[in-house]
Structure 1
Amino acid sequence: MSTDHSASGQALGYVYQFDRATYRLFQSGVDVLEIGVEDIDDVSVHLDNGNEIREQDKSTINSGSPLSDRSVALWKTLHIWAETILGSPSVIDTTEFHLVTNGSLSANCLARRINGAADAKTAVVVRDEIKGIIPTLRDDLVPYGKTISKLSDEQLSNLIVKITVFDKMSSKFGGNIDELQALRVFEPGMKVGLFDQMSSWVKRKIREQVESRKQPRITRADFDKELQGLFRKVTVARLSAIIEPFDMDVDISEYESHGFVKQLDWINVDEDVMREAILNFLHAQDTRIKWSDNNAVSETTLLQYEKDLKKCWETASRRAYRQPFPTEELKGQECLDLTLEQNTFIHNEIMPKSISCGNFHALAHFTYEQEPVIGWHPRFKSLSKGSTKP
């Protein structure tokens, strides 16, 4: 069975455009409003000041370059952009033109010289070279040469100055995935997974817009919203992965002076409850350090988590202190039990009991410089002040 290399090449080129669009969306700054696919060009970037970037993408399945001096890819691209300028001359004033390939440019090729023409003087040299090549083009390139010839010398020179050529742009991701700041905190495998999921979303979104007869464009706001939702899902998975078993071999006598342990003393809990509290406190503390080291949970999220824990305690304390227990110590034990039995959540993921309880004890901890946020004994605030004298 023979392989239709032309068809496979077209398919790869089509996929490459979506990868480039996805890469552009990951790259985009606050000045980018939206990015189009097969809209005004293969890929187009639309900025908030009205300017645009029109991008032509040329993929190759071999190690060479599709942008040789007399390649269809190069001359067809110049033809497309020339037609755009002939149809609307003012476009040149607000547009950059990018020619992108996953192949490699040779050292002395025409595309590289076009890329290097950054001012009027060097552009004239390249312009004259292009005009000199046009009469010698083979038959299939002649129509492209005729279109380019219709540009005035000034228009062709201005176009050349506005062209940037990018080579070696990854065929897998449309660029160097390690350079995407949005993915910098993730491990290599996770970066690939996130990129692939967002690329699939871009394809679906463009397909929906085409079917609805809308412009095939992705707004940066929609992309960011989808990406943040994906980040939340991934972060939840990573939280569970980072919660590890904790070493149970702990001498609880070393923690007798700790504020959260004193709180438990005030309500006369037994030694087993005390030991479990210390282990949970240490486990939660160790886990939070791992979360921080792995950038798994932001400080904002942790602050919100602490607020949620405090609300849980407030509800439990009101219920406990209303009970007709004969002593304050028993009310405190009820407050402790009602608080610790509640589930807690980060990014909608239920935390293991040891982590929930440990973080409650962390809020109950106090020192000479820091008051407890929550407590068990009805008079925990006054008791803590009386037990923190230096």
Structure 2
Amino acid sequence: MSSFTAITGDDHSAIDAALGFYYQSLYGLLAVVKAVEDDAAVCLERLDDVEIALNGQSLLVQLKHSLSKKPAGVSLASVALWKTLRAWIDVLPKLSLDDTRFQLVTVAPLPPGSVLAPLLDEKSSRTDLLKRLEAEAKRVVDEHATAKASGRNPLPHVERLPGCSAFLALPEATREKLLSRATIQPAAHDINKIQLDITNALTNFPPDQREAISQRLTEWWDLQIVYSFCGRRERFITRLEVLQRLLEMAGELARDELLADFQFEFPPDDHSPPSMIATQLQLVDCTKSEIQSAQQEEWKARSQRHKWMTERMDMAVRIDRYDKYLVQEWRYRYAPMAEQHQSAAEEKRRAAGLEIFRWSFIQAHREVDPFAKNWNSSYYVRGSYQVLAVEQSVGWHPDYLALLKGSA
């Protein structure tokens, strides 16, 4: 999955809402991937943000997402806490409290020594916390009522009032039981990191396949979520469904054989190669035939990339990762060369750079790891180095960046 740009206060709230909902979807997927119970199932936006069914019981999860670099810690006075309690109280008539657990998952931290610390452990006593919650709720309700009676404006505690009022309206035994079945998970990963959590949870698959499988699984999951809202499938998505899809994808990857679609192809007559190819190669006195060959291989590699990315969603990540690997292999040879020829005559500097180019064109495809296990065509490595040269991520002359400054 792609990374997300941090939301600022100037952005529309609709963006926050959209990211918050997609975070719910990804959290649901993570929950079902990590589950070990065969009957595990997940549903979004039914009784809560995420509803997880396990062993005949339900876990209702309230998610509080933020992309703030330093979200405020959760406290007794947090609006998120009281909105969560209100949401749980509202659904109590629709469920069996004995068969339901509740969890607040937030990216915000829980400060050391917090009075909410008992919520970190299901077995911890909630006696003192219950008294503190009741006292805080009563304070909020009383201060709001006093301000309203005196005509003060704006009224205090407007956002927390519904939750506090609902909490106090519960029978004391119900308040106690609800709290005993509630937990909190602070400092949860935000939407930028949760995709990696899903990838890392796929421990039954080889490490080099997990990212591709995670992306494909997420695409399938997104569609299932939409179908669940449209009535095209059951509301709950089961762990067994996810396991079946994972097995199918693993089989697809195992059968995945990349074809060298452009090995015997040539650029069309009207093809205009990027001028940077020749510009870079002329800096190291390449021959005309070498420049022409480099332009041809660049076209092949670029065409292959386009075909792969058009046909498969996971290829963009694989291509980018392999590009970085090629740059690394180039740098291992280029950096010592540039350092050794720092004070050499220009003729020798050009000759040394020419050797780096010829390595990339003649030897590299035999020395670097292939793009895929079954891949053995040379044009992808040759051409990819030219694609990278066009971007100036690699170069041949020891001072290519300085010499190309201002060139496009």
State TM-score, norm by structure 2: 0.52
- Shift in alpha-carbon separation, 1:2–1:148, aligned structure 2, 3 A: closer
- Shift in alpha-carbon separation, 1:80–1:199, aligned structure 2, 3 A: same
Aligned partner of 1:227 in structure 2 is 246
- Measured in 2, the distance between the counterparts of 1:150 and 1:196 equals 46
* Matched AA of 1:143: P
Contact (CA 8 Å) 1:20, 1:174: kept in 2 or not? no
Aligned partner of 1:70 in structure 2 is 77
Aligned partner of 2:62 in structure 1 is 56
- Measured in 1, the distance between the counterparts of 2:109 and 2:197 equals 15
Percent identity of equivalent pairs: 21
Aligned partner of 2:21 in structure 1 is 14
1:133 aligns with 2:136: yes
Displacement of 1:94 after TM fit? 0.7
Q: Deviations over 1:139-185 (max 9, x none)?
A: 22111111111222222222222112112322232784475254563
User: What SS does structure 2 have at the residue aligned with 1:32?
Assistant: coil
Displacement of 1:25 after TM fit? 1.4
Aligned partner of 1:29 in structure 2 is 36
1:96 aligns with 2:96: no
Aligned partner of 1:124 in structure 2 is 127
Q: Deviations over 1:269-290 (max 9, x none)?
A: xxxxxxxxxxxxxxxxxxxxxx
* Matched AA of 2:20: G
Aligned partner of 2:387 in structure 1 is none
- Shift in alpha-carbon separation, 1:64–1:175, aligned structure 2, 3 A: farther
Which has the higher mean CA deviation after the structures are superposed, 126-135 or 151-160? Answer: 151-160
- Shift in alpha-carbon separation, 1:72–1:214, aligned structure 2, 3 A: farther
Displacement of 1:56 after TM fit? 0.9
Contact (CA 8 Å) 2:58, 2:99: kept in 1 or not? yes
Displacement of 1:117 after TM fit? 6.2
Contact (CA 8 Å) 1:57, 1:101: kept in 2 or not? yes
Displacement of 1:239 after TM fit? 11
Q: Deviations over 1:336-360 (max 9, x none)?
A: xxxxxxxxxxxxxxx99xxxxxxxx
User: What SS does structure 1 have at the residue aligned with 2:21?
Assistant: helix
* Matched AA of 2:212: G
- Measured in 2, the distance between the counterparts of 1:185 and 1:102 equals 30
Q: Deviations over 1:77-102 (max 9, x none)?
A: 111112222x15x6221111121123
Aligned partner of 1:149 in structure 2 is 168
Displacement of 1:107 after TM fit? 1.6
Displacement of 1:133 after TM fit? 0.4
Contact (CA 8 Å) 2:89, 2:166: kept in 1 or not? yes
Q: Deviations over 1:213-243 (max 9, x none)?
A: 6553212222111111111122334999xxx
- Measured in 2, the distance between the counterparts of 1:109 and 1:5 equals 33
Displacement of 1:66 after TM fit? 6.5
Aligned partner of 2:388 in structure 1 is none
Q: Deviations over 1:184-229 (max 9, x none)?
A: 6313xx4333223222211211211221265532122221111111
- Measured in 2, the distance between the counterparts of 1:100 and 1:127 equals 20
Aligned partner of 1:41 in structure 2 is 48
Q: Deviations over 1:27-76 (max 9, x none)?
A: 122343421111221111113x4211111111111132473432222111
Displacement of 1:113 after TM fit? 3.6
Which has the higher mean CA deviation after the structures are superposed, 225-234 or 191-200? Answer: 191-200
Displacement of 1:104 after TM fit? 2.1
- Shift in alpha-carbon separation, 1:174–1:111, aligned structure 2, 3 A: farther
1:80 aligns with 2:87: yes
User: What SS does structure 2 have at the residue aligned with 1:139?
Assistant: coil
Q: Which runs of 5+ in 1 are unaligned?
A: 241-350, 353-390
- Measured in 1, the distance between the counterparts of 2:232 and 2:254 equals 36
- Shift in alpha-carbon separation, 1:79–1:18, aligned structure 2, 3 A: same
- Shift in alpha-carbon separation, 1:6–1:125, aligned structure 2, 3 A: same
Matches within 5 A, 1:321-332: none
Q: Deviations over 1:284-303 (max 9, x none)?
A: xxxxxxxxxxxxxxxxxxxx
| Alignment counterpart, residue 10 of structure 2, candidates 3, 10, 21 | 3
User: What SS does structure 2 have at the residue aligned with 1:4?
Assistant: coil
User: What SS does structure 1 have at the residue aligned with 2:27?
Assistant: helix
- Shift in alpha-carbon separation, 1:177–1:92, aligned structure 2, 3 A: same
Aligned partner of 2:278 in structure 1 is none
- Measured in 2, the distance between the counterparts of 1:91 and 1:174 equals 33
- Shift in alpha-carbon separation, 1:22–1:93, aligned structure 2, 3 A: same
User: What SS does structure 2 have at the residue aligned with 1:228?
Assistant: helix
- Measured in 2, the distance between the counterparts of 1:146 and 1:156 equals 12
- Measured in 2, the distance between the counterparts of 1:2 and 1:170 equals 20
- Measured in 2, the distance between the counterparts of 1:197 and 1:167 equals 29
Aligned partner of 1:199 in structure 2 is 218
Q: Which runs of 5+ in 2 are unaligned?
A: 1-7, 141-156, 260-373, 376-408
